[in-house]
A and B are shown apart, each in its own frame.
Chain A
């Protein structure tokens, strides 16, 4: 019953979106197409919401007459996870994807800002085309309301590693992020088509970049945190292809944020900004393809289907082809003023943009090389994390120095020599900090020294930059940069510290046994078993001694009944910014003792802190720029 309603409301939404497109085309030459207030688009949005709610209800009620509910839910699951299962599977997540595309268009329509009618209508038109493409994809290849006969009594269950409160919010944030880039894609294409790609456009576009960028940052942060504490991988980032899939649009969008500022302030970088805007959304779709097609071997590649992958690939190629052709035909020819000041602010930003594109290229190569090799030569390979670390690290350090320099520079003129003394004093101060730290921690690795030096330099300069502003208003307008740049500096600082001082031990331990390791000693004190409704849990009690500190950890292993699977629940306790972290492993063929993985994660909380700061920067920038310069 509900499933039919859900399906029909999706059909209605598709129909309404088609009507909206017809209306646009019919009225295109009469210039009065805003008169109807995008009524079809709005109603299509409402119907998509309805079908999404109906799908949630079906999951909450465990309506096993629907295949996707049967395959991904189970009556023994808590209500919370039944609801989360809605977007924990392919069909539901594509519906969420569509909901987000539609919602961004809706917000664009109802936003208070005065936008040129011609532009507005074209943006909605393109957003609508994206919407219809994905609605067709949903209806034809992955209908979430597809029925099953005879109706099963019980569902197959949701993968237990997905039964976590963070999973409930992690995918929606990611989707609000990278699907949100659809609007900037539409905005760019619309402006190109209408010959309105100009400085006013950049003022309008800024907000629609900051908003999804902030969501994506939160989504990536949550994902990283989830892998750390729920998956028990012991670290924060693994260069897993799916992590890379979300990182690629993030890097492109970060470059876009900066280039759109240059465009707004100096009237340069038109084509660069347009390319980045188009690229960001195409990379988001490419990420969807990687996750959904099954070409990857990753923790995220659950149930997948190569045929769907093919459809997504066709969609990507089509959008890339059309948008790039439009770009080539319509991009305004810029008059090159040719007054080139090497260290003006825009040039520092441009250089940093080159760096970002380099990082992006490295990630794209590392992620796609195995796929291409498998497709062309038929060889399976994997690219180790050392590839990324060794290439990116030295360049990130230079990147940090540029980040510290840029904000002091002026638009269109060089101020480097004016601030020469400040830069030297920053440098001296950072050298002092690094020397102290190096002696204190007894670590003299050049990469370590460079990492600390450059991140300290950036931290000092962001603080000086904000506190030397002449008045309060200037402080407020620069606050978002302060937080996000500071966050990035702390991120690199924490990663460097974490990389050089973390300790890791994997071993087999028997009850009562004591294992000494570096400055730690680990004792397996006790174990006990508990039965829960949908799993059995084995707890271990471990005493960790670090010099004079004694810490007790209680990791556990859950054996789930449906689907039958083991998960390791980690136990984490912190000491300042560092974590003591332990997970157990269980193997049915192992005779005695139990496997443990112990990590001493130095300064890892700095990484979570930096995610929060960067997000805060994004939020502030969205908030403070809400109303500036109407066009």
Chain B
């Protein structure tokens, strides 16, 4: 092997190794920071309860909202109008949180029908429906023109 070729091989090997290490690093970090979204129906249909933080979205069910004043805990039901999931949430309710409006809750599942929320996402105007929620409603066949 000529010196130049040797040098090239070394550079090549170094860059391949660097690339693999970095790619692995990115992959691990991406997996660790990915949050999956589920509709209540998705949650009903999956066999295994997802660990870690997930998002659940749908409509806040009518007259399901309740407040525990001592513990400062809110509870409500998220529905895609076919299936429901019960949510307990400690924290602030955003400006646009209302019954019968779309909401996305981030948190951990206690079991498949019970979510401990730690964040509610509702940053948009009152007519806005988060796309995930719209999809969830379309999937459950309960999409209504009035949500458009």
Enumerate chain A interface residues (CB-CB to B < 8 A): 159-160, 294, 297, 299, 358, 361-362, 365-366, 369, 379-387, 390-391, 506-508, 557, 563-568, 585-591, 595, 597
Contacts and interface: CB of A to CB of B under 8 A. Distances in A.
Interface of B: 22, 25-26, 29-30, 32-37, 55, 65, 67, 69, 72, 91-99, 123-127, 130-132, 135
Contacts of A383: 30, 33-35
B98 A362 contact: no
Nearest to A597: B92
B33 A557 contact: no
Given A369-B34, A563-B127, A587-B97, 20 more contacts: A361-B26, A366-B30, A379-B37, A380-B36, A380-B55, A381-B34, A382-B34, A383-B30, A383-B33, A383-B34, A386-B29, A387-B32, A387-B33, A391-B25, A506-B92, A507-B92, A566-B95, A587-B96, A589-B65, A595-B93
6 contacts: A379-B36, A379-B37, A563-B125, A565-B125, A587-B95, A591-B67
Contacts of A565: 96, 125-126
B116 to A, nearest CB: 17
Nearest to A559: B95
A365 to B, nearest CB: 7
7 nearest A-B pairs in the assembled complex, by CB-CB distance: A380-B37, A387-B33, A595-B92, A587-B93, A566-B95, A384-B33, A565-B125
Contact of A586 (B33, B36, B95): B95
A362 B25 CA distance: 11
Nearest to A294: B131
Interface of A is mostly: mixed
A297 B125 CA distance: 13
Contact of B30 (A297, A387, A506): A387
B34 to A, nearest CB: 5
A566 B99 CA distance: 16
A374 B98 CA distance: 28
Interface of B is mostly: loop
Contacts of B30: 365-366, 369, 383, 387
A274 B3 CA distance: 31
Nearest to B127: A563
B97 A589 contact: yes
B92 A384 contact: no
B131 A297 contact: yes
A584 B132 CA distance: 27
Contacts of B37: 379-382
B124 A299 contact: yes
Nearest to B55: A382
B127 A506 contact: no
Nearest to A568: B95
A391 B26 contact: yes
B29 A390 contact: yes
Given A297-B132, A566-B95, A587-B93, A391 B29 contact: yes
A361 B98 CA distance: 39
Contacts of B36: 379-381
A564 B93 contact: no
B10 to A, nearest CB: 13
A563 B126 contact: yes
A159 B128 CA distance: 11
A566 B96 contact: yes
A564 B96 CA distance: 11
Given A386-B33, A591-B67, A297 B130 contact: yes
A568 B123 CA distance: 11
A565 to B, nearest CB: 4
Contact of A358 (B22, B34, B130): B22
Nearest to B135: A380
Nearest to B36: A381
Contacts of B132: 297, 380
Given A586-B95, A595-B93, A384 B35 contact: yes
Contacts of A557: 95
Contact of B92 (A385, A387, A566, A585): A585
Given A379-B37, A381-B35, A589 B99 contact: yes
A379 B135 CA distance: 11
B115 to A, nearest CB: 16
B14 to A, nearest CB: 13
